[in-house]
Structure formats: C-alpha cells, structure tokens
C-alpha cells in the first residue's frame, strides 16, 4: 500500500519509538486530508445530516482503502497513540462530508463472542508485549493472533516461527515465500489467508501478474503445485520420485534447502487454514468483508446489512434463553455437565485398566487398523452453509483434487510406523541441517502444543488431561495412517465422541466445510479457550503428519 498509494506511508507506525510513530501519524493525517479535500463537497456537510446519506463516497483515488486501513488501526493497533490518532483522522474526514467505513461483524471470531476475547487495550503486560511484537513485525495485529492469545506461551512460539519462515535469512526470496503461502491457503479456499499474503506479496515487490493465476508465475513455482495438492489432501501418496522431479528439472530445479523451506511453508499454511476455519476467524477489518461504507440506520444496522447476514450486536450476543424455553436450556446445560463428568470418569477407568493389564502387540495393531478404518466413515451430515469465501482457485491447479480416505476403493497404503521414521529421530535433524534453526523452532512449537495444560476441564480443576491430549493427537495421525506402536487406539473411541470426531476430521481434512454448528456441538460445557487449545493440537498434529510424509520421501531420495 505504501508506494502504490502515493504519499500515504505507513512504515513509521511499526516503530516502537513514540516520536517516530507521532511523525508518521502527522504525515498520514496530512496526506489523507489533502486527498479528502479534493473530493469533498464545496461546503462541508454537518455531521448531524450524515444519516440522511448526504456524505460523499470515498471510492475515488484509493481513498477507501486508506480509510479502511485507518479504521483497522483505530481498533486493532496495540499502541494507544496510533488508535486515538487514527480515529481522529477518520472523524476529520467525516467532517469534510466524506463517508467513512465502519466494522462488520463482531470481534476476531465468528464462533466466539467478542466479549469473551481479549480486547485490544485491555491486555496484560505479557499479552501487550506479544501484540507489540506482532504489530511491529507484520504491520498488523491480525485476528488469528487475537484468538491464539488465549494461549500466550504457544502464540509466542508460533509468531517466532512464522517470522523466521517469512522474514529472516533463508533459501527462498521473500516474494516466493508469500506466494507459496498463497498457493497453500488457496488449496482450502482460505480467502482470509490469501488476502493477507496477496498484500504482503505486493509489499515485498512481488509481480502483480503472478496473482492472475498460477500459470503466470515462474515455472519453478508451477512445478510445486503437485506437491502442494498432495501435501494438503493426500500426503501418504508422496514418493521419492515426486522429490526427484522437483530437484532434477533442468532449468527450474529446486535445491534441497529451497525445497525444505517450501515444504515447511506449505505445511504451515495448510495447517493455519485449518485453524482459521476451525476457530471461525473473521475477515480483517481492512480486508473485503471486514468493513462497510454503508451508513448505519437508527437501530445500528441497515436493511442491506441484514440481507447480507450482518446483524446487530444485541442479536449476535443475545442469550440463547431469549428464544429457547428456559426449561430446555436447563436440560441442555445438565446434559453438558453430565458429558464432562462422564469423560472424566472414562479417563479414570482407562488409567485403572492401563495399570492392571496391557494389551498384546497384535491386539494393539488390530485396534489401530480398526480405528483407521472407522475414521473413514466419520463424516458430517451438515447441511449448514460454511463461511462464504472468495474464489481463489486461480492460485492453484486441479481444483477437483481434494481429500480422499486412503483405503477407499480398495486402494491400500501401508501404515506409516513412527518407530521407523519419526519427527524426533529423523525429521528434526533433516530440517535443521538444510534450513538451520527451523527444526528447533518447529520442535519447540510441537512440544508446547502437545504439552500445554492448565490442569482444568470445563469447571473442574487439578485434572491430568494428558490422556485426552494424546488421544486427540494420535487420532489425527491415525487418520493419516500414522501409527504409534506403544499406544492403545481403543482409548480413542472411549474419549472422543462422534460430534468431536466429525469436528476434528472436518477441520483437519476439509477445513473449508467447518461450520459454527460443528464448533458448538462438541464439548458444550467447555470454555472457548479450551476449544482453541483443541485447534492448536489439530494444527500441530496435522503439520507434523504432512511433514513426516514429505521428509521421509526426501530422506529416501537422499539415500
């Protein structure tokens, strides 16, 4: 946005120095007001008449994009001076008789009420430090960060890893990194991530022509398309021949280091698409779908908002008891409480069974195969529409290629035994050797997600949740054909009910089909922070599963 918008420069806002930010804000204010004055009515329209629709639209000369960015800064910047000044600039523009934007939606997630998320400006010192790091690095405080901050320890590791992958020294040029992010997110029609990285791609000097479709990108990136689609949908099909094809192509070959960087980026954004859909992440305020220039009506929303599915705050946050008889609400609440108690009882019984007897290796193998087979038949009967997304198919080839259960139609894929090829013993060292420090960063992120616990379950405290976390992680890997010899897969059916399995499989395999009803239907008595924690497990288990298949193929090629 910087150069292409002429004199409006945003760079200085990312400074930690208040004086630098103040100077940048003064320049932005002057540039915006100069531009506004060229399209404002001859006589400024009194604000009291704004509701009459007499304000001039701001679409000319790119002003609407600038005003949307200021709106985002007024709501989402961790620095109070930037929030206040951005709001003041918008007010001054409105005084000139120009319509300013307002946010659509309510908060960073469509699934989590805004009042239950961290409000920018009300965060504690640790969260503020994370928000400031994110903003100074990316130039924004995005909705993913505002939902992940339920778990600050994980968020810190996530941001550090993502920053290294996108901005620090590495084998791939910066614009390639963002383009690969676009390719990966587009496989799941994740327009939220595509929008962010289109902006970042252009900001680091990427060629806008590449955004017209993958066929307009260099052949080297086009060659990555096959690996992208297999990693996203059927990673068990990746072989050393696929790796050889990328490394041996005469003119457009990849080096091993470049390929490792690309694979880590692809798996990062496939799994981040899962988080985006799994937590119902809303469009960014300054992106398409995040704001509107339509004037609000007296009741705070106009008829055009209603027809487009945007409703007033009161309606969104209304208590379910407002429309459902109280007796039914009490029954549902009691049922949910019983679910928590039943789950805790099952965990206790399983622990006692573990202590008493251990199943034979043959029985453990049989239970794995049974769970793998059953996971194929876990599917949603959901007819609710998932979140509407902009068509992003031009960023990838073969739009019909999607997730397929690996044993359908008689096709058999051998079980991937972690004892033969694991992240800890094989993948970690391969990544670290070819792309220094990234293996360490990923390893830390995997461990934080897997081991993260507050020893709580819903309203219960001092609970050991390790059995439940392991069941979730191993169920995801089981769906990918990955087996741990020392795990009893019979525990999964005891701990994960059908609605939870449907949610897990949808978020991991076809995240674009995730709906709010799916999110609401599992663990009904648990906190939103606990459901976000589940999503962190899904993200990391999925990423590790994809990496294992890709890295094993690379290892086989190298040997």
Instruction: Give the Cα separation of 35 and 477 in Å (integer).
Output: 55
Alpha-carbon distance of 278 to 255, in angstroms, equals 34
> Closest Cα partner for 274 from 542, 473, 68?
542
Give the model's pLDDT for residue 47.
45
Best CA proximity match to 39, nearest among 10, 61, 24? 61
How many Å apart are CA 204 and CA 410, to the nearest integer? Answer: 47
In a domain, 53, yes or no: no
Q: What is the pLDDT of residue 11?
A: 84
CB atoms within 10 A of CB 538: 25
Quick one: pLDDT at residue 29? Answer: 94
Kindly state the DSSP code that residue 410 receives in the 8-state scheme.
G
Q: Confirm if 194 and 375 have CB atoms less than 8 A apart.
A: no
Q: Structural domain of residue 410, as residue ranges?
A: 332-381+394-558
For every residue of 167-234, DSSP letters joined together read HSS-SS-HHHHHHHHHHHHHTTT-HHHHHHHHHHHHHTT--GGGGG-GGGS-HHHHHTHHHHHHHHH-
Q: Is residue 520 part of a domain?
A: yes
Whether residue 154 is contained in a domain is answered as: no
442 lies in some domain: yes
Residue 250 falls inside a structural domain: no
Domain's final residue, options 86, 105, 140: 140
In a domain, 423, yes or no: yes
- Position 217 in a domain: no
Domain C-terminal end among 80, 112, 140 = 140
Tell me the longest C-alpha to C-alpha distance in the chain.
86
pLDDT score at 352: 78
Look at residue 150 and tell me if it is in a domain: no
Q: Which residues, in sequence order, are bridge partners of residue 461?
A: 456
Per-residue pLDDT of the chain (559 residues; tens, 9 = 90+): 334 444 678 889 999 999 999 999 999 999 999 888 888 764 444 444 444 444 555 555 688 999 999 999 999 999 999 999 999 999 999 999 899 999 998 899 999 999 999 999 999 999 999 999 999 988 899 999 999 999 999 999 999 999 999 999 999 999 999 999 999 999 999 999 999 999 999 999 999 999 999 999 999 999 999 999 999 999 999 999 999 999 987 789 999 999 999 999 999 999 999 999 999 999 999 998 999 988 776 454 443 343 333 444 433 333 333 334 444 443 444 455 578 888 888 888 888 777 666 777 777 788 788 777 777 767 765 544 445 555 565 555 555 555 555 555 455 656 899 999 999 999 999 999 999 999 999 999 999 999 999 988 888 899 999 999 999 999 999 999 999 999 999 999 999 998 999 999 999 999 999 999 999 999 988 999 999 999 999 999 999 999 999 999 999 999 8
Residues labelled as active-site residues: 190
The confidence score (pLDDT) of residue 61 equals 62
Rounded distance, CA 427 to CA 93, Å? 55
Q: What's the total number of domains in the chain?
A: 2
Query: Which pLDDT value is given to residue 328?
Result: 41
């Amino acid at each position: 946005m910087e150069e292409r918008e002429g004199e409006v420069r945003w760079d200085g806002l990312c400074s930690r120095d208040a004086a630098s930010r103040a100077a940048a804000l003064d320049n932005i204010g002057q540039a915006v007001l100069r531009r506004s004055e060229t399209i404002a009515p001859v006589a400024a329209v009194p604000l009291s008449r704004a509701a009459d629709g007499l304000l001039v639209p701001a679409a000319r000369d790119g002003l609407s994009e600038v005003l949307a960015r200021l709106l985002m800064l007024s709501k989402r910047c961790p620095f109070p001076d930037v929030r206040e000044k951005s709001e003041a600039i918008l007010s001054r523009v409105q005084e000139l008789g120009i319509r300013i934007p307002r946010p659509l939606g309510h908060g960073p997630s469509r699934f989590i009420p805004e009042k239950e998320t961290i409000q920018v400006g009300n965060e504690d010192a640790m969260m503020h430090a994370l928000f400031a790091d994110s903003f100074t690095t990316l130039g924004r405080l995005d909705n993913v960060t505002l939902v992940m901050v339920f778990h600050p320890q994980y968020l810190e590791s996530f941001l550090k890893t993502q920053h290294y992958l996108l901005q620090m020294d590495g084998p791939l040029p910066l614009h390639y990194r963002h383009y690969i992010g676009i390719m990966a997110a587009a496989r799941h029609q994740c327009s939220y991530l595509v929008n962010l990285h289109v902006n970042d791609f252009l900001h680091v000097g990427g060629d806008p022509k590449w955004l017209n479709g993958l066929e307009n990108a260099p052949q080297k990136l086009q060659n990555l398309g096959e690996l992208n689609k297999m990693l996203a949908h059927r990673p068990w099909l990746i072989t050393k021949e696929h790796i050889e094809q990328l490394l041996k192509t005469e003119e457009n070959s990849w080096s091993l280091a470049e390929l490792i960087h690309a694979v880590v980026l692809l798996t990062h954004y496939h799994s981040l698409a899962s988080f985006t859909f799994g937590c119902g992440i809303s469009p960014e305020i300054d992106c398409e779908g995040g704001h509107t220039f339509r004037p609000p009506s007296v009741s705070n929303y106009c008829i055009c908002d209603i027809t487009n599915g945007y409703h007033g705050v009161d309606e969104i946050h209304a208590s379910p008891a407002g429309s459902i008889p109280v007796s039914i609400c009490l029954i549902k609440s009691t049922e949910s409480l019983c679910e928590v108690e039943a789950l805790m009882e099952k965990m206790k019984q399983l622990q006692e069974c573990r202590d008493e007897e251990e199943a034979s290796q043959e029985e453990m193998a049989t239970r794995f195969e049974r769970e793998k087979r059953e996971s194929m038949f876990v599917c949603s009967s959901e007819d609710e529409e998932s979140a509407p997304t902009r068509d992003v198919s031009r960023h990838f080839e073969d739009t019909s290629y999607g997730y397929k259960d690996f044993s359908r139609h008689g096709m058999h894929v051998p079980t991937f035994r972690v004892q033969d090829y694991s992240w800890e013993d094989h993948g970690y060292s391969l990544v670290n050797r070819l792309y220094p420090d990234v293996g360490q960063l990923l390893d830390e992120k995997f461990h934080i997600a897997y081991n993260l616990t507050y020893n709580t379950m819903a309203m219960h405290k001092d609970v050991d949740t390790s059995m439940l976390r392991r069941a979730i992680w191993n169920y995801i890997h089981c769906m990918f054909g990955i087996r741990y010899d020392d795990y009893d897969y019979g525990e999964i059916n005891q701990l994960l009910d059908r609605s939870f399995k449907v949610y897990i499989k949808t978020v991991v395999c076809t995240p674009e089909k995730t709906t709010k009803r799916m999110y609401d239907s599992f663990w009904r008595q648990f906190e939103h922070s606990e459901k976000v924690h589940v999503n962190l497990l899904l993200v990391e288990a999925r990423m590790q599963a994809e990496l294992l298949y890709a890295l094993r193929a690379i290892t086989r090629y190298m040997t």
